[in-house]
Structure formats: C-alpha cells, structure tokens
C-alpha cells in the first residue's frame, strides 16, 4: 500500500506549467515511485515522459497459476536474465558493477543511477 499520495477531489493536472494563453505545457518528466496518484474527477498528465514504477508490490485476493500456453500465445516469456550489463545475458564476459543488492530483483538495482539502461537484461 502506498504511503505517499496525491489525491484530488476534483480534476488533477500534472504539467510543466501554463503558457501565456493559459494552456498547460509539458513537463520534461513525471516520475512516480510507488506513490498513489488518484483523482475523483478527470486527470491530465502533460509530459514528454511519464515513468511509473512500483518498488514494493503486493497482491490480494485469489492468485492462480498462469497457463504456459496462454503466455506463449500472448508473446510473454517467463524466462530471462538479470545482469548489470546486458552483454552478460548473451554469454559474454563483462565486468560487474557495484556489489549486488540482496533486496533487488536478481540482486541487481532496478533504477538509475546504478547502471542506467542496462540494470536488468530480461530477454
């Protein structure tokens, strides 16, 4: 459950600002890390990029096993590789980064600056 929240009783707008005509301008980035963003009314996100990550995930209710045939039909692979450098997933010998984090998926960091785009090499 999120402990930080943006909750609007009406319309919620996340933007870079407003121009001279009163129109919303794009923010470079809206980044949400495990917070709740909810609105009773409309919600508008004006941004060049929106990144929404959940660093702590929980589930409730009925959890059923996945049908492997359905996963294959949908093109979802349940195999992969986690590495500091994506080249390691192709069997190449690469140097390893900082010490692994035992609390992260596969012991690898999941967000920059701990290796940038090569944090996870799921393939």
Q: Is residue 61 part of a domain?
A: no
**Domain hosting residue 42, numbered range:** 5-53
Computed over every residue of the chain, the mean pLDDT equals 74
Q: How many Å apart are CA 106 and CA 100, to the nearest integer?
A: 9
Q: Does 51 score more than 60 pLDDT?
A: yes
Q: Which residues pair with 38 in a beta bridge?
A: 7
Q: Is residue 67 part of a domain?
A: no
91 prior amide bond cis, ω within 30: no
Give yes or no for a contact between 6 and 37, defined as CB atoms under 8 angstroms apart.
Answer: yes
Give yes or no for a contact between 84 and 110, defined as CB atoms under 8 angstroms apart.
Answer: no
Cα 100 to Cα 31, 59, 103, 109: the distances in Å are 24, 26, 9, 7
Count structural domains, the chain. 2
Q: Is residue 9 part of a domain?
A: yes
Taking the CA atoms of the chain, what radius of gyration do you get in angstroms?
19
- At residue 37, the pLDDT reads 87
Q: How many Å apart are CA 89 and CA 82, to the nearest integer?
A: 7
pTM score of the predicted model: 0.44
List pLDDT tens digits, range 61-91: 777 787 888 888 888 777 766 665 666 666 6
82 and 123 together in one domain: yes
């Amino acid at each position: 459950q999120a402990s930080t929240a943006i909750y609007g009783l009406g319309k919620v707008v996340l933007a870079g600002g407003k121009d001279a005509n009163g129109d919303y301008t794009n923010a470079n980035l809206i980044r949400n890390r495990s917070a709740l963003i909810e609105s009773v009314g409309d919600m508008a996100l004006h941004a060049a990029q929106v990144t929404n990550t959940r660093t702590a995930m929980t589930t409730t209710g009925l959890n059923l096993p996945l049908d492997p045939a359905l996963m294959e039909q949908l093109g979802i692979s349940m195999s992969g590789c986690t590495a500091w450098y994506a080249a390691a997933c192709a069997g190449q010998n690469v140097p390893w980064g900082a010490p692994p984090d035992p609390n992260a998926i596969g012991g690898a960091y999941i967000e920059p600056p701990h290796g940038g785009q090569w944090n996870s090499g799921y393939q």
